[in-house]
Structure 1
Amino acid sequence: MTGATRPARAARPPGRPRSQEADLAILTAALDLLIEQGAAQTSIEQVARRAGVTRATVYRRFADKTALLVRTLEWANHDHDPAFTGWRDLEHMFGDWAAHLAVPRNRRLLRRLYGSVDDYPELMAAYRQVNGGRRAAVVREMLVRTRDLGLLPGDLDVDVVQELLSAAVIGLAALHPDDEDPERVKAHFLAIMKQVGYRP
């Protein structure tokens, strides 16, 4: 007998590789801490502890806290976002917005971001970049389509209305109660649109 037969390699258990599990744990911990206590009070040490990894593991991936939080926002608003398939009409769009804004955690994240704009401007820049681009283009397209259907005034400046709606989102997060139900949130957006001439 020239040698023992090598045992068959055990099949790798299903799931993500260990490094990706660490990535997910770090990003989840960073997002939770950002929402719970804000950017200024969040530290790499806290993120590592919450994620169950070492500080070195976090620093191997991110140069500093700002880089970590920027990536966290990109992940939370893009990689972690459900696939976007578009809206049927304006009311469908506002219903989708209302479902998102009716979740207190989502409103709190918006407040944390706007509260950090002076000390951590990179966070708001990252949020705007992720939420701009395709999503902003789809909102504009929806407004143009609604205008072309005759449901909005023909001379309506859709860019101004889009800015108005963005400000309305901020106002809802900052000034309305977090337990507001989706129907009331949707009605708020529709009331604004009726003031600019929306006639469904």
Structure 2
Amino acid sequence: MGTADRTPGRPRSSEADAAILTAALDLLIERGADATSVEQVARRAGVTRATVYRRFPDKTRLLLAAFEAANGNPSATPEIRDVEHLLTGWASVLADTRQRRLLRRLYSAFEDYPEIARAYQSQFGDQRSDTRTKVFERARDRGELPAGTDPQVLLDLLSGAGWQHLVTYPDTCTAQDTERYLRAVLHQVGYRPKERK
């Protein structure tokens, strides 16, 4: 249950909602999922555990909500115009120091908390992957990618490159540096953007 859900009774405090998500996000980044508890989140947010549990029935949903709030609660089906738009968006995220730390924490939690991975994939991953795959399909149809390009394999390749960047490049990389890196990966598989009129 997220903060957008409402039940009968007294209206919820938007300040409490924000404080809970901020506390959960800060603790996740600082300590990781394993060392973050609902009790710690409640204490840092200045609310009771019951207040947290009324909004989020378990830690998995709380951490997922915090992750999404950090990204501005994006749509499960993002609007991506083309490959250039996709590159710019990914580069922006990968160049943000706080986002980089958050992503590393999130991915490292998947081993010990597979339910977080399953919930994230079910709630957002499948639809977002489908949207991005269609972007590559359209690029292939326009001749910007080789005719034999498999969009799903290409998405996996670019996602893997993003993870490689997170773990091997410094957090001081700029968006321009990061975009050049991602673009070089796509260049190797034959991506050649066409001039737009």
TM-score (norm 2): 0.81
Tell me how far 1:44 sits from its aligned partner.
Answer: 1.8
| Corresponding residue to 1:192 among 170, 179, 185 | 185
Distance 1:64 1:156, change over 3 A: closer
Which whole-Å deviations, capped at 9, do the CAs of 1:9-63 have from their partners, x for residues lacking one? xxxxxxxx54333222212211121112101111222211221112232233334
Q: Which runs of 5+ in 2 are unaligned?
A: 1-10
Q: Which runs of 5+ in 1 are unaligned?
A: 1-16
| Corresponding residue to 1:22 among 6, 13, 16 | 16
Q: Does 1:96 align with 2:89?
A: yes
| Corresponding residue to 2:128 among 124, 127, 135 | 135
Q: 1:99 and 1:53 mapped to 2: Cα distance?
A: 34
**Corresponding position of 2:7:** none
| Corresponding residue to 1:53 among 38, 47, 62 | 47
Tell me how far 1:123 sits from its aligned partner.
Answer: 1.8
**Corresponding position of 1:177:** 170
Paired residues, number: 183
Distance 1:51 1:37, change over 3 A: same
Q: Percent identity?
A: 52
Give the 3-state SS of the residue equivalent to 1:174 in structure 2: helix
Larger Rg computed on CA atoms: 1
Distance 1:39 1:29, change over 3 A: same
Distance 1:64 1:90, change over 3 A: closer
**8 Å CA contact retained: 2:134, 2:151:** no
Q: Does 1:160 align with 2:146?
A: no
**8 Å CA contact retained: 2:38, 2:49:** yes
Which whole-Å deviations, capped at 9, do the CAs of 1:48-85 have from their partners, x for residues lacking one? 122111223223333443342244335545x6238976
- The worse-fitting range, judged by mean Cα deviation, of 55-64 and 190-199 is 55-64
**8 Å CA contact retained: 2:24, 2:41:** yes
Q: Which amino acid aligns with 1:29?
A: A
Q: 1:61 and 1:173 mapped to 2: Cα distance?
A: 31
- The worse-fitting range, judged by mean Cα deviation, of 48-57 and 189-198 is 48-57
Distance 1:131 1:106, change over 3 A: farther
